[in-house]
Structure 1
Amino acid sequence: MTAASRLLSLAEDVLGLPLPVRLRAWDGSEAGPAGATVVVIHDRAAIRHLLWQPGELGIARAYVQGHLDIEGDLSDGLRAMWAAVREARAADPEAGRPRIRPRHVARALGLAARYRLVGRRPQIPLAEAVLTGDLHSRERDLAAISHHYDLSNEFYELILDPNMAYSSGYHREPEWSLEEAQTAKLDLICRKLALEPGMHLVDIGCGWGSLTLHAAEKYGVRVTGVTLSTEQRDFVHKRAAERGIGDRVNVSLRHFRDLSGAGVGDGEIDAVASVEMGEHVGDAEYEVFTSAIYRYLRPGGRVMIQQMSRSNGAKGDRPGGGPFIETYIAPDMHMKPLHRTLELIAGAGLEIRDVQAMREHYPATVAGWAENLESNWGTAVSLVGEEMARVWRLYLAGGSLAFEENRMGVDQIVAVKPSPAGVSDMPTSQLAWLA
C-alpha cells in the first residue's frame, strides 16, 4: 500500500464513512475515487496537525498554513463531503465525527513510524483568535470584534461592494450584481422601518456604515451608529464627511448597553436596526439586548433585526458554527434557531409583525465576495498575509454551503413597541415595503 492509500484508509475508519475525495500524498502517491476533488498533502506537517488536533480544526490549520490544499473547486469538494456525511448518518448518526479508538491509535503510530510523521506540534497559525476574560464581558467583546473587523479596512473594501455591506444582500432579481443586491437590502430595511426625514435611527453594530450612511443620505434621518471597532468608526465618519452628511451621522464607540452617553434617550428613538450583529451578543446576553432595544424605542417605534440562525435540524452542532468559525472568524458568536430569537424579542415586550426568510440570498452574496477575493488575490495577500487570505477562502466556501444546505439561515424580523393602549402604528399590509 502507498502512503496515500494508508492515510485514506485510516481517515475513513476514524470517520466511519467512505471519503468522496482523492488523496495525493507528499510522495506523489494517490488513492481514492478517480475524478473526485483532489486533496493534496504537500508535506508531513499536515499530518502532524491532525495527530495533535484531530478533526475540523486540525484540517483547518493545515489548510491555512498551506500544508494541505485542494485541487479544483473548494466548494465542490466541501459539498461532496457533506453529501457523504448526510448519507452515512442515515445509518449511523455519529458518522463523520472523529471517533478515536485503540485500533486507530495503533494504526496511527505505525504510520507515524513508517513515514517519519512523529515530531513537535506544528506552529499554530497566527490568524487564530486568542481571547481571555469572562465570556461577553465588555473587554472580551471588544477583543472578539477587533479580531475580525479591525483586520484592514482596505481588505474589506477589496471584498465587499461599494456600500461596504458585510451581510446578506437582497437578490430579488437573479441577475443583480452584488452592489445592486446590497443597495436593495438597504432600501428594504429603510422601508420596513418607515424612515422619514428628521427621524432618529440607531444602527446597532453599524459596521462600515452601509445602512447608517444610506439612511442618512437617502432618507434624511439622523443616525447614531454603534460599533466596538475603532477602524469602522473612523471609516464611517470619513465617508459621512465626504458625502456632506456628517451633521446627520454620529458613530459611537461603545457597547449597545451604554448608549445614553451617545444621545440615545430611553423612549425617544424612532427606529432601531441591527444587521447581523445579534449573533455576537451571546445567548445569556440576548435578553439584555432585546430589553435595551425596547427601552430605547418610543411607543410606535420599530426595530428591524437581520440575524443568522442555526437550523432546527442541526442538532449537536455548535452554536458558534464549529471549530473553524469560532477560532478564526467570529469567536464567541452564538447562533440560535429562529423560534428562540422570536421568543426573546417578544419576551422583551416587542410585538413581532413580520419575518422574512432570506437564506437563499446568502450564497449569492457570498459568491460575489468570493469572486472579489479570487480576482484580487495578490492584493489581498499583500494586505493581510497569505494565511489570512486562505482563512477567508475557506470561510467563504464553507459559509456559503451552510446556507445552501439549510444548516444556517438568515431572517429579517420586524417588531414594534406598542403604545400602552396597544397602538402599533403599523400598516395592515406588508406590501408597502416589499414594492
Structure 2
Amino acid sequence: MTAAARLADLLHPFLGDPLPVRIRAWDGSESGPEDAPTVVLRSRRALRRLLWYPGELGLAEAYIAGEIDIEGDLGEGLGRVWRNVRERGPALAPSLGDRARAAVLAARLGAVGPRPAPPAGRAALSGALHSKARDRAAIHHHYDLSNDFYALLLDPSMAYSCAYWTTDKPDYTLADAQRDKLDLICRKLALVPGARLLDIGCGWGSLTLHAAGHYGARVTAVTLSAQQHAHVTARAAELGLDGQVEVQLRDYRDVTGGGFDAVSTVEMGEHVGEAEYPAFARVLHDRLRPEGRLLVQQMSRRHRAPGGGAFIETYIAPDMHMRPVGETAALIEDAGLEVRQVEAMREHYVRTCAAWQDTLEQRWDEFTALVGAETARVWRLYLVGGALAFQERRMGVDQILAVRPTEDGRSGAPATPLAWYAPEDPGPTG
C-alpha cells in the first residue's frame, strides 16, 4: 500500500469517504478524488508534527513550516474539510485510539521522531490574563510586526478593520470601501467641526485622521502599540492636523477625563477579555457627555461556534475573546448606555479579507523578503481562514451605535437613521 493510501485510510474516520481533498505523499503517491484540491505532504515530518500536535494547531504549523501545501484553491480545500468534519460530528482532534493507530502508521512510514520545533511566530505571553503588561505584549505581538508590512497589505489609509462596500462597480476598490466605512462611522457619531472624539484602539489612525481632516473633529487617539503611536503622530503632523490630534500611548484603563461628544472603538473590544468587558463598557460610558454617542465595531461569534481557534490564538490574536453580538449589546446597556442601532457587516468582511489576500498574493515576493516565508504563510492562512469563517457565519462583525442618555431620558439621537445613509459630502474642513 502506498504512503498516500495509508494516509487516506487513516483520515477516513474524520473526513468521510470519499475524502474531501486529494492527498499526495512525499513519495509521489496520490489518493482521493481527482477533482478536489490536493493536499501535498512534502515530508514525513508533516505526519510527525501532526502526531505531536493533533488537530488544528498541528495542521496549521505544518502548513506554516512548508511541510504541507495545498494545490488549487486554499479556501475551497479548507472549506471542504471543515464541512465534512462538521457534518460527521466528531472534533478534528483525534481520540487516544486514533492517535495510537496514527503512531503505528507513522512508524511504518518512517515518520516517528522527536517533537518538531514550532515555526516562527508563536505568541509567548506570560503574566495574569488581561493584566496591563500582558495586554501590551499581546498587542505588540500582532500590531508591531512592522509598519512596512501593514503598509504593503492595507489601503493607503492603513485601515485594518472591516470595510463597508457600497457598490459592485468594477472600479470601486478596497480604499473606496474603507473610506465609506470611515464616513459611515463619522456620520453615525454626528461629528461636526470642533466635536471631541475619543478613538480607543486607534490602529494606524485611519478613523482618527479622517475624522479630524474631513469632519473637523478634535481627536484623542489611544493605542498600546509603539509603532502605531509613532505612525499616527507623524501622519497627523504631515497632514497639518497635529493641532487637532493627540495620540496617547496608553492602556484604555488609564485614559482620564470625560465630556467627549463621541467615543469610537473599532475592532479593539475583542482584545479586552470576557471578565474585563463590563469594566471596559463603563469606561466607554464615563468618557461620554450626556447625549454623546458611542460607536463599537466588533467581531462576534455564534452561540455554539468556536471563537478564534487554536491557530488564531497562537499566531495572530492571543487572548482574544468574542461573544454573540446580543451579549455585547447587553453589556453596553448594563453600563448605562442605550443601544440605538446594530448593523451587521459580516459579508463585508468576506470581501475585505479577500482584498487583503489578493494584495498578499500579488506582492508575495515583497512580503517574504520583508518578514520571511513562514510569517507570510501565517498571513495567507489567516486571511483565507478568516474569510471562510465569516462566509460560513461562524464569525460576524457588527457596528453597535449607542448613546449616553441624560438623567431624564433624552438621547439626542435622530428619529430615523436616514442621514447616515444619504448624507451630503462634508468635504475637507482644513
Q: Which TM-score bucket, shorter chain as reference? A: over 0.9
1:65 is aligned to 65
Deviation by residue 1:363-392 (Cα, 9 ceiling, x = unmatched): 111111001101111110111111100000
1:432 is aligned to 419
CA deviation after TM superposition for structure 1 residue 313, in Å: 4.2
Counterpart residue identity of residue 172, structure 1: T
Partner-residue secondary structure (3-state), 1:401: helix
Counterpart residue identity of residue 354, structure 2: A
Query: In 1, are the aligned partners of 2:54 and 2:94 still within 8 Å (CA)?
Result: no
Partner-residue secondary structure (3-state), 1:379: helix
| Aligned residue pairs, count | 420
CA deviation after TM superposition for structure 1 residue 115, in Å: 1.6
From 222, 226, 242, give the equivalent of 2:222: 226
Q: Does 1:419 align with 2:406?
A: yes
Q: Does 1:346 align with 2:346?
A: no
Query: In 2, are the aligned partners of 1:355 and 1:413 still within 8 Å (CA)?
Result: yes
1:145 is aligned to 139
Q: Does 1:48 align with 2:82?
A: no
CA deviation after TM superposition for structure 1 residue 85, in Å: 2.7
From 369, 372, 382, give the equivalent of 1:395: 382
From 92, 103, 108, give the equivalent of 1:97: 92
Structure 1 Cα separation of the partners of residues 75 and 36 of structure 2 = 13
CA deviation after TM superposition for structure 1 residue 17, in Å: 6.6
Query: In 2, are the aligned partners of 1:227 and 1:233 still within 8 Å (CA)?
Result: yes
Structure 2 Cα separation of the partners of residues 99 and 46 of structure 1 = 16
CA deviation after TM superposition for structure 1 residue 18, in Å: 5.0
1:273 is aligned to 264
1:292 is aligned to 283
Give the stretch that moved more between structures: 12-21 or 106-115.
12-21
Q: Does 1:33 align with 2:33?
A: yes
Partner-residue secondary structure (3-state), 2:274: coil
Counterpart residue identity of residue 287, structure 1: P
Q: Does 1:373 align with 2:360?
A: yes
1:75 is aligned to 75
Query: In 2, are the aligned partners of 1:306 and 1:413 still within 8 Å (CA)?
Result: yes
Residues 254 and 2 (structure 1), Cα distance of their counterparts in 2 relative to 1, 3 Å cut: same
Query: In 2, are the aligned partners of 1:17 and 1:96 still within 8 Å (CA)?
Result: no
From 94, 99, 106, give the equivalent of 1:112: 106
Partner-residue secondary structure (3-state), 2:243: helix
Residue correspondence of structure 1 range 160-175 to structure 2 within 5 A: 160-175=154-169
2:128 is aligned to 134
Q: Does 1:323 align with 2:310?
A: yes
CA deviation after TM superposition for structure 1 residue 134, in Å: 0.3
Counterpart residue identity of residue 405, structure 1: E
Structure 2 Cα separation of the partners of residues 43 and 407 of structure 1 = 32
2:204 is aligned to 208
Residues 166 and 17 (structure 1), Cα distance of their counterparts in 2 relative to 1, 3 Å cut: farther
CA deviation after TM superposition for structure 1 residue 113, in Å: 2.2
Residues 422 and 236 (structure 1), Cα distance of their counterparts in 2 relative to 1, 3 Å cut: same
Partner-residue secondary structure (3-state), 2:263: strand
Query: In 2, are the aligned partners of 1:299 and 1:417 still within 8 Å (CA)?
Result: yes
Residues 365 and 423 (structure 1), Cα distance of their counterparts in 2 relative to 1, 3 Å cut: same
Partner-residue secondary structure (3-state), 1:332: coil
Structure 1 Cα separation of the partners of residues 289 and 18 of structure 2 = 58
Q: CA RMSD in A?
A: 1.2
Query: In 1, are the aligned partners of 2:85 and 2:92 still within 8 Å (CA)?
Result: no
Structure 1 Cα separation of the partners of residues 297 and 55 of structure 2 = 32
Query: In 1, are the aligned partners of 2:15 and 2:85 still within 8 Å (CA)?
Result: no
Structure 1 Cα separation of the partners of residues 196 and 385 of structure 2 = 38
Structure 2 Cα separation of the partners of residues 75 and 30 of structure 1 = 21
CA deviation after TM superposition for structure 1 residue 105, in Å: 4.0
CA deviation after TM superposition for structure 1 residue 76, in Å: 1.2
Structure 2 Cα separation of the partners of residues 328 and 381 of structure 1 = 17
Query: In 2, are the aligned partners of 1:25 and 1:41 still within 8 Å (CA)?
Result: yes
Partner-residue secondary structure (3-state), 1:75: helix
Counterpart residue identity of residue 285, structure 1: E
Counterpart residue identity of residue 230, structure 2: D
Deviation by residue 1:21-44 (Cα, 9 ceiling, x = unmatched): 000000001011111100000111
Structure 2 Cα separation of the partners of residues 365 and 303 of structure 1 = 24
Structure 2 Cα separation of the partners of residues 356 and 179 of structure 1 = 21
From 376, 385, 390, give the equivalent of 2:372: 385
Query: In 2, are the aligned partners of 1:15 and 1:99 still within 8 Å (CA)?
Result: no
Structure 2 Cα separation of the partners of residues 58 and 392 of structure 1 = 16
Residues 25 and 252 (structure 1), Cα distance of their counterparts in 2 relative to 1, 3 Å cut: same
From 324, 334, 337, give the equivalent of 1:337: 324
Structure 2 Cα separation of the partners of residues 122 and 29 of structure 1 = 24
Counterpart residue identity of residue 179, structure 1: A
Identity of aligned residues (%): 58
Structure 2 Cα separation of the partners of residues 67 and 47 of structure 1 = 9
Query: In 2, are the aligned partners of 1:131 and 1:144 still within 8 Å (CA)?
Result: yes
TM-score (norm 2): 0.96
CA deviation after TM superposition for structure 1 residue 96, in Å: 4.1
CA deviation after TM superposition for structure 1 residue 247, in Å: 0.9
Counterpart residue identity of residue 94, structure 2: R
Structure 1 Cα separation of the partners of residues 376 and 213 of structure 2 = 33
Counterpart residue identity of residue 434, structure 1: Y
TM-score (norm 1): 0.94
Counterpart residue identity of residue 118, structure 2: I
Residues 20 and 332 (structure 1), Cα distance of their counterparts in 2 relative to 1, 3 Å cut: same
CA deviation after TM superposition for structure 1 residue 87, in Å: 3.0
Query: In 2, are the aligned partners of 1:17 and 1:84 still within 8 Å (CA)?
Result: no
